Amino acid sequence: MRYSTDLPDLRILQSEQLVPHEECDPRRVIRLSQRLKSEAILKNPPIVAAIPETDKYVVLDGANRALAFVNLNIPHIVAQLVSYQDSGVEVDTWYHVVAGMEIAEFESELTKITGLHLQDSSLEQARIALKNHQAVAYIICAEGLRIVVNAANTIKHDTRLLNGLVSAYKGKANIYRASNDIWDIQKPYYPDITALVIFPRLTPADILHAARSDEMIPTGITRHIIPHRALNINIPLDVLGAGWPQERKEDWLQDWLMERMSANAIRFYSESTFSFNE
C-alpha cells in the first residue's frame, strides 16, 4: 500500500529500454517530437513497469512520448516506475466510438477480416460472451448489436483479431475513447457516430505478453489507472540529452527532487480530476 506521503518513483532510464505494448500513432510521435523540441522540457513522465527477467520496461502510459525521445535521439528519459503487484495499478479498457464513416462501408470492411463473423445479440448476452471469452468484441450501431466471433473458436484475447477489427476503421473514421457501452449515452456527444466497439478487459499478463512478444495491442484500448501519478515535472531536455554518464543524471535527478521538496513545490491531490487540455 502507498500513502499520500510516498513520492512517485522517478527513474532515469535509457530511452531504448522502454517497450510499448500497443500500436503507436506515427503522426502523434512526430507532433510530440516537435513539441518537445520547442518546449525543451519533459512535462509528464511515461509510466512504466519492469518486464521480469529483462532490463526492459513496458510503457503503461505515454508510449508515443517515449518513442518521441528515441526519434529525437535523446539517450535518457525520466519515467515513473510502478508495479502491478503492490502499487494499486489497475488495468481497464477504453472502448471506441467510430464516427464519420458510412455504416455500409464499416460493415463491408468488417467482412474482409479473415476469421471473424458477426452474430446478432442482446446487450446482456454480448457482455456475458465477452467476459467468458466467447467473443472477440461486440459492436453497437443504430441498427442493433452484434458480437464479433472468431470462426476458429479460439479466442482468449487474440491480438491479431483485435488488430484486424480495428483496421476495419482505423484511418477511415474518427476514433474517440469511451468508458461505457450505452449507445444512448454516446449518441448525443457524437452526432455522426457510426458504431460503438466494445473490447475485452485485458490483464497485466496480457500487457506483459504484448511487450515481450511484439504482438502489439491496438492503440487506444488499454487504460491504466495509476495512483499517485507524477505530473508537471518539467525536466530540461538538455540534461536528458547531455553526454553525461547515467549515474550523473541520476544524481542530478535526486538533487532536483530535494530542491523541489525544499521549495515546498510538490502537491498531492486526492480528488478525481477532469483535464480539459490533453
C-alpha cell at 61: 502510459
pLDDT for 27 equals: 83
Domain membership of residue 176 (yes or no) is: yes
Q: Cβ-count burial of 128 within 10 angstroms (0-12 exposed, 13-18 middle, 19+ buried)?
A: middle
Nearest to 133 by CA among 157, 114, 161: 157
pLDDT for 35 equals: 95
pLDDT for 56 equals: 97
User: Which of 198, 231, 252 is where one domain is finished?
Assistant: 198
What CATH number is associated with residue 256? 3.90.1530.10
Angle between helices 26-39 and 63-71 (to 10 degrees): 70
Q: Does 110 share its domain with 184?
A: yes
pLDDT digits (tens, 9 = 90+) for 14-39: 999 999 999 888 888 999 999 999 99
- Judge contact between 111 and 165, C-beta under 8 A: no
Q: How high does pLDDT run on average in the chain?
A: 90
Instruction: List the domain range (segments joined by +) for residue 100.
Output: 95-198
pLDDT digits (tens, 9 = 90+) for 184-241: 999 999 999 999 999 998 899 999 999 998 788 998 899 999 988 999 999 999 999 9
Q: Does 82 share its domain with 107?
A: no
Report DSSP state, residue 200.
P
Report DSSP state, residue 201.
P
Residue 196 forms beta bridges with which residues? 97, 140
| In the predicted structure, residue 58 carries a pLDDT above the cut 80 | yes
Report DSSP state, residue 276.
S
Rounded mean pLDDT, 44-62: 96
Nearest to 237 by CA among 16, 65, 47, 60: 65
